[in-house]
Amino acid sequence: MDLLLKGITIIDHQSSFHNQCVDLHIKDGYIHKIGPAIIIDGVQVLEQSGLYCSLGWFDMAAHMGEPGFEHRESQESFRKAAAFGGFTEVAVFPNLSPITQTRSAIVSIKNSGEGPGLTIHPIGAVTENCEGKDLAELLDMHRAGAVAFSDGVQTIQPANTILKALEYLNLVGGLLINRPENHSMALGGQMHEGPASTRLGMKGIPSVAEEMQVVRDLQLLEHVSGRMHFSQISTAKSVEAIRKAKRKGLNISCDVASFQCAYIDESIEPFDTNYKVAPPFRSEQDRLAILEGLADGTIDVLVSAHLPLEAEAKELEFDFALPGIINSQTAFSVANQTMREALSVEKLVHKFTVAPREVLNLPVPKMAEGCMANLTLFHPDRNWEFNERNNASLSNNSPFLGQFLKGSVFGTIHQNVLTLNPTY
- Average pLDDT on 2-25 reads 95
In the predicted model, is pLDDT for residue 341 greater than 90? no
DSSP annotation string for 356-423: HHHHTT-PPP--STTSB--EEEEEEEEEEEE-TTT--SS----TTTTEEEEEEEEEEEETTEEEE-TT
In the predicted model, is pLDDT for residue 268 greater than 90? no
115/113 Cα distance (integer angstroms): 5
Q: Which of 271, 353, 300 is nearest to 86 (CA)?
A: 353
How confident is residue 204, by pLDDT bands cut at 50, 70 and 90? very high
Q: Which of 245, 219, 217 is nearest to 231 (CA)?
A: 217
Mean pLDDT, the chain, rounded, equals 96
pTM of the model: 0.96
- Average pLDDT on 399-413 reads 97
Among the ranges given (107-116, 166-175, 178-187, 368-377), the one the predictor scored with the smallest mean pLDDT:
107-116
Question: For the segment 84-118, what is each residue's pLDDT rounded down to a tens digit?
Answer: 999 999 999 999 999 999 999 999 999 987 778 99
Burial of 284 (0-12, 13-18, 19+ CB in 10 A): exposed
Amino acid 225: pLDDT: 86
- Average pLDDT on 294-315 reads 97
The CATH superfamily assigned to 56-359 is Metal-dependent hydrolases (3.20.20.140)
34/26 Cα distance (integer angstroms): 9
The 8-class DSSP code of residue 124 comes to E
Amino acid 114: pLDDT: 79
Q: What is the 3-state secondary structure (H, E, C) of 170-210?
A: HCCCCEEEECCCCHHHHCCCCEECCHHHHHHCCCEECHHHH
144/110 Cα distance (integer angstroms): 9
Amino acid 319: pLDDT: 92
The CATH superfamily assigned to 2-53+369-420 is Urease, subunit C, domain 1 (2.30.40.10)
How confident is residue 196, by pLDDT bands cut at 50, 70 and 90? very high
- Average pLDDT on 2-13 reads 96
In the predicted model, is pLDDT for residue 270 greater than 80? no
How confident is residue 76, by pLDDT bands cut at 50, 70 and 90? very high
User: Where are the chain's structural domains?
Assistant: 2-53+369-420, 56-359
In the predicted model, is pLDDT for residue 228 greater than 90? yes
In the predicted model, is pLDDT for residue 413 greater than 90? yes
Amino acid 271: pLDDT: 80
Amino acid 378: pLDDT: 98
Amino acid 191: pLDDT: 95
List C-alpha distances in Å: 80 to 88, 321, 372.
Answer: 11, 26, 21
190/268 Cα distance (integer angstroms): 13
Amino acid 269: pLDDT: 75
Q: Which amino acid is at 408?
A: S
